[in-house]
C-alpha cells in the first residue's frame, strides 16, 4: 500500500456530518456499567480485591462520551456479518466489547496474545476485531482529519498561532517521527527500511494546528528517506507548490512588504516560500535569533502532538514485531484519527495523560539538516524576522 495522505480538518462535532458520524445522533448515556464492570474484572482477574480497580479512562484512553461517539461511527462495520465473534466461553462479543478490545490493543501496544490472554479471547479474534475497527475508522472517521476547507477555519488557526507563538499568518507546524519495527536483517529487501540510526522504521509526517490536531499526514515511506524527500513526495507539497494550498490572504508587514500563508518546520525541511525554517549557524544577529525562538515555539506544538500520539496509542510507540508493512500505514492513520477525535470531543482525558520528558517522540534520533533554500523564501524570512524584531521600516 502506498503512503497515506491524510485529508484533514474535521468540522466541529456539532456541525452536520454523515448521519452515522453525527454527535447529535448519539445517546448521551455512558456504556452499560454492568458491561464495564465485567470488562474491568477480566483485566484484573476475577479474584482481584483491588481497592482502586482500573478506571474506564485509564484503560481505554478515552472518556465514556468519546467511547460512545467512536462506537456510533463503527457500529455498522463492527457488527456486520460474520458477526459470530465470541470469547473463550462462547459468549457473543457485544459492540462495546469489540470497540473496547480494539482500543485496548491500540492504546496498550500489547501483543495480540497478551490482549487475548488478559480478556479471555482467542488472539485471532483480537486480530479480526482490531482490523475490522481499523477499516471502519478509515471509512467513517476521515472527516476528523481534513485540511481547513473554509476561509473562516484557516483564519481561526492563524489567529491562534499568532496569539500562541507570535507568528502572523502561520497555518501550521510540520514534523516527522519514526515508527520503529523489528524486521529480519537476513532479508535484503528490508534494507530500504533501515534509517540513519540503524533502526528499521516507517515515517509519519504530520502538519498540526495550534490545538495539536493533525491537519495533514503522510505515512508509509521507509525510514531511510530524509524528511525533505518525504515532503517533496507528498500531495501536500504538490498542492502548496501549485498554489492550491497555503495561498489565501496575505498580511501587510510594511509598505511594499507582504507575508503569504505558510507553515513552519525544523532544519530537516527545505526553506520554501510556504515553509519557513530556522536560520542556521551560531553567529546569528538579534533579529535572526529572535525569529528562531518564535519558530521553535511553534515547532514544539508539532512535537507535543506527535509525543501525545505515541504516548496515547502505544501500538506505534514501541518497536513493532515484524508488522505487515501494507497494513501499518492504515493503523497509523487510525491512531491519528483517534487523536483528533479526542480533541474534537473536548475530552478531558487528553489533558490528564502524561507526556514524555521534553516531548521526545523520536528518542535517539539526531536532527536532520536540509541545505536546500529558496531565494524568495529567504527574503520572506528576513522580512518576517525584522518585523518580529520591530525593525522593518513602516
What tens digit of pLDDT does each residue of 192-225 get? Answer: 999 999 999 999 999 999 999 999 999 999 999 9
Model pLDDT for residues 290-333, shown as the tens digit of each residue: 999 999 999 999 999 999 999 999 999 988 988 999 999 999 99
- How many whole angstroms separate alpha carbon 307 and alpha carbon 51? 32
- What are the phi and psi torsion angles at 178 (to 5°)? -105, 130
Residue 13 has pLDDT above 70, yes or no: no
**Averaged confidence pLDDT in the chain:** 88
- How many whole angstroms separate alpha carbon 62 and alpha carbon 36? 14
Instruction: Quickly count: other Cβ atoms within 10 Å of residue 287's Cβ.
Output: 19
Name the pLDDT band for 188 (thresholds 50, 70, 90): confident
- Mean predicted confidence (pLDDT) in 223-251: 97
Q: Which residues of 120-155 are buried (b: 16+ CB within 10 A; e: fewer)?
A: ebbeebbeebbbbbbbbbeebbbbbbbbbeeeebbe
Residue 392 has pLDDT above 80, yes or no: no
- Mean predicted confidence (pLDDT) in 109-128: 93
Residue 187 has pLDDT above 80, yes or no: yes
Q: Pull the grid cell for residue 204.
A: 509519519
Q: What pLDDT is attached to residue 386?
A: 95
Q: How many whole angstroms from its chain centre is CA 83? A: 30
Residue 17 has pLDDT above 80, yes or no: no
Higher pLDDT, 382 or 187: 382
Q: What pLDDT is attached to residue 363?
A: 82
- How many whole angstroms separate alpha carbon 48 and alpha carbon 46? 6
Taking a C-beta distance cutoff of 8 angstroms, is the pair 165, 257 a contact?
A: no
Closest-CA residue to 67 (of 36, 111, 37, 112): 36
Q: What pLDDT is attached to residue 346?
A: 93
Taking a C-beta distance cutoff of 8 angstroms, is the pair 62, 349 a contact?
A: yes
Q: What pLDDT is attached to residue 6?
A: 44
Higher pLDDT, 157 or 2: 157
Q: Which residues, including other chains, have CB under 8 Å from residue 273's CB and lie 6 or more apart?
A: 260, 262, 374, 376, 377, 380
| Cα angle, residue 56 at apex, residues 51 and 57 outer, rounded to 5° | 110
Closest-CA residue to 159 (of 239, 261, 243, 240): 261
- How many whole angstroms separate alpha carbon 292 and alpha carbon 305? 20
Q: What pLDDT is attached to residue 393?
A: 66
Model pLDDT for residues 322-361, shown as the tens digit of each residue: 899 999 999 999 999 999 999 999 998 876 665 554 567 8
Q: What pLDDT is attached to residue 51?
A: 62
How many CA atoms, within 13 angstroms, populate the side-chain half-sphere of residue 378?
A: 6
Q: What pLDDT is attached to residue 5?
A: 47
pLDDT above 70 covers what percent of the chain? Answer: 86
The pTM score is 0.90
- How many whole angstroms separate alpha carbon 249 and alpha carbon 267? 26
- Mean predicted confidence (pLDDT) in 109-115: 93
Amino acid at each position: 500500500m502506498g503512503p497515506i495522505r491524510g485529508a484533514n480538518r474535521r468540522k466541529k462535532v456539532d456541525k452536520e456530518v454523515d448521519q452515522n458520524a453525527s454527535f447529535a445522533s448519539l445517546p448521551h448515556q455512558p456504556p452499560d456499567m454492568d458491561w464495564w464492570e465485567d470488562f474491568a474484572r477480566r483485566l484484573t482477574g476475577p479474584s482481584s480485591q483491588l481497592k482502586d480497580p482500573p478506571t474506564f479512562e485509564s484503560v481505554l484512553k478515552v472518556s465514556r462520551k468519546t467511547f460512545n461517539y467512536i462506537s456510533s461511527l463503527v457500529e455498522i462495520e463492527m457488527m456486520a456479518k460474520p458477526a459470530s465473534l465470541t470469547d473463550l466461553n462462547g459468549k457473543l462479543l457485544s459492540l462495546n466489547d469489540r470497540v473496547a478490545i480494539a482500543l485496548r490493543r491500540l492504546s496498550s501496544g500489547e501483543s495480540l496474545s497478551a490482549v487475548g490472554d488478559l480478556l479471555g479471547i482467542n488472539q485471532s479474534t483480537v486480530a479480526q476485531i482490531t482490523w475490522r475497527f481499523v477499516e471502519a475508522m478509515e471509512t467513517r472517521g476521515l472527516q476528523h482529519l481534513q485540511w481547513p476547507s473554509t476561509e473562516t477555519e484557516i483564519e481561526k488557526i492563524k489567529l491562534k498561532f499568532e496569539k500562541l507563538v507570535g507568528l502572523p499568518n502561520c497555518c501550521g507546524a510540520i514534523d516527522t517521527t519514526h515508527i520503529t519495527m523489528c524486521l529480519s536483517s537476513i532479508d535484503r529487501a528490508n534494507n530500504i527500511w533501515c534509517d540513519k540510526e540503524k533502526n528499521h522504521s516507517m515515517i509519519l509526517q504530520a502538519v498540526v494546528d495550534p490545538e495539536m490536531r493533525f491537519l495533514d499526514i503522510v505515512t508509509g515511506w521507509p525510514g531511510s528517506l530524509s524528511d525533505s524527500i518525504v515532503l517533496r513526495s507528498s500531495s501536500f507539497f504538490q498542492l502548496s507548490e501549485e498554489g492550491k494550498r497555503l495561498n489565501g490572504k496575505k498580511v501587510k508587514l510594511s509598505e511594499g512588504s507582504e507575508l503569504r500563508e505558510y507553515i513552519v518546520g525544523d532544519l530537516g525541511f527545505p526553506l520554501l516560500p510556504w515553509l519557513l525554517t530556522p536560520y542556521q549557524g551560531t553567529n546569528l544577529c538579534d533579529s535572526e535569533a529572535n525569529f528562531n525562538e518564535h519558530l521553535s515555539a511553534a515547532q514544539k506544538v508539532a512535537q507535543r502532538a506527535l509525543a501525545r500520539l505515541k504516548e496515547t496509542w502505544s501500538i506505534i510507540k514501541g518497536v513493532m514485531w515484524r508488522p505487515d508493512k501494507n497494513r501499518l500505514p492504515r493503523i497509523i492513520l487510525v491512531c491519528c484519527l483517534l487523536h483528533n477525535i479526542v480533541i474534537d470531543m473536548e475530552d478531558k482525558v487528553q489533558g490528564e495523560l502524561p507526556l514524555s520528558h521534553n516531548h521526545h517522540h523520536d528518542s535517539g534520533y539526531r536532527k536532520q539538516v536540509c541545505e536546500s533554500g529558496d531565494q524568495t523564501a529567504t527574503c520572506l524570512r528576513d522580512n518576517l524576522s525584522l518585523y518580529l524584531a520591530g525593525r522593518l521600516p513602516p
